[in-house]
């Protein structure tokens, strides 16, 4: 899944150019994906930034409890098998 997020960013947001660690600040989802793929290992500052991000995918209201719920990319990646 992380590879798909990075490739989508390169194609649609970065006009086909390769990305660098500084691009992590452009999108929380991209930062989480880059961290998971090890693309930020050489940049401790960006790796720290990414580790504090969730990359929210979905927000919804639970109709039974009327509470707000969310699912982040980080939570989704943790649910998937390696």
Q: What 3 state SS string does 17-68 have?
A: CCCCHHHHHHCHHHHHHHHHCCCCCCCHHHHHHHHCCCCEEEEEEECCCCEE
pLDDT at 17: 86
pLDDT at 24: 92
Domain ranges of the chain: 2-79
> Model's pTM, two decimal places?
0.80
* pLDDT tens readout for residues 26-44: 989 999 999 999 999 999 9
């Amino acid at each position: 899944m992380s590879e798909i997020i990075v490739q989508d960013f390169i194609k649609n947001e970065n006009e086909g150019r390769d990305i660098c660690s500084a691009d992590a600040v452009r999108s929380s989802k991209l930062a989480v994906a880059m961290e998971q793929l090890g693309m930020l290992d050489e940049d401790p500052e960006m790796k720290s930034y990414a580790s504090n991000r969730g990359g929210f995918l979905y927000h919804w209201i639970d109709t039974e409890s009327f509470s707000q719920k969310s699912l982040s990319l980080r939570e989704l990646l943790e649910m998937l098998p390696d």
